A and B are shown apart, each in its own frame.
Chain A
Amino acid sequence: MRYREALNLALREEMQADENVFLMGEDIGVFQGAFKVTAGLLEEFGEKRVRDTPISENTIVGMGVGAAMTGLRPVVELMTINFSLLALDQIVNSAASIRYMFGAQVKVPLVIRMPQGAGHQLGPTHSHSFEALYLHVPGLLVAVPSTPADARGLLKAAIRDDNPVIFIEHETLYGRRGEVDDEADEPMRFGEAAVRREGGDVTVVGISRMAETALKAAEVLASEHEVEAEVIDPRTLRPLDLDTILESVKKTNRAVIVEEGWPHGGVGANLAALISEQAFDWLDAPVGRVTGADVPMPYSKPLEQAAFPHEEHVVQACMATFRDL
């Protein structure tokens, strides 16, 4: 099953299970979504539950917040994470804060789905990765699924959660195939990292699409450098399964974090701090980070390719924890 089909399955299952679940977004109905994630849902559930909206992100999210406060379970799709910046007021000041502002008298069970990522020559206004931005905000849960199975399991969990969830998909991953057990109906749990590959020499944490890149790099490390990397996909950034990461670092004594976003204030910066605070005495090298370049994403193909991490960058960062390069 493809990643986009797994998301579609999760939406369908949750809509079938709970009539309070409904979808809003630009072109999700008649057009079936910019990435076809909502294919067939308008037909199955009707206009009342699959609502095409005007191009106004702040309004869409605002409606979602209001609907969630009344007890519905809205799933809002934004065409890319870049456009969510238009809705930042609703996301940060409303969705994330309302439950705290009103002493938990109301909750906001809203899911905002959106893809991120570079590689399609869509320029800086369409290609950024903003998981760090939403990780920054207390009150929001942040999911970054990298496989079809996780996409389905985590989206189901997100819809059932009573907190607002920033659900970050990846444009490059929509076409990826993977095993999905469509018999099992159970949602996944947030805050459970996946160890994608076991190894004793260096811990590599890959965020979102970079979990895939990290895994490829690990194969290169094993075959060309005799370094066995342990690859961890945290799957959700808030809550974060720090225990699994720390346990691995205590075994390998080395950590490298790979993310597509910018270096300053990034997920890796944060995670490096957490590792240093909690596993300092187990570290044999400074925590390494591999990030996107510190520039707005270029449109030019070679520049764009150079501006986000590939396997070789991860291999190099891992080797740098062993010796001078």
Chain B
Amino acid sequence: MMRDVFVLAVLVLGSTGGEIAITHGMKATGEPATLRPMAVLQFLRRALGNGWFWAGVPLMAISFYSLLLLLSWEPISFVIPASALSYVVGTFGAKYILGEEISVARWAGVILVCAGVALVAAG
């Protein structure tokens, strides 16, 4: 039980931490001037030169391996609903780390999505 809680925490914090780092890196990269292939390639090159992007990748890898580990111990109908907590943790991260404004409508949407993903995955 303690083992599950610990690995679930690594899973949730790894995925949200990784995604927040990548978001920060992408905001620093700036959006591509157009969505034409050359502009997107230049954008990709700038993004791959950003340290925050590379800080995010290993965090997401850790989260992926915790998911595999958890799936080897518990049924998927427990693992995916439990990992839906990431939506709530990620929203807190967006507010307090990235400084995004979370309106009431956005909070309500996030909570509905979180509950919905839990129900869908539970079958």
Q: Do A and B come from one complex?
A: no
Binding site for A on B (CB under 8 A): none
- A interface with B by C-beta (< 8 Å): none
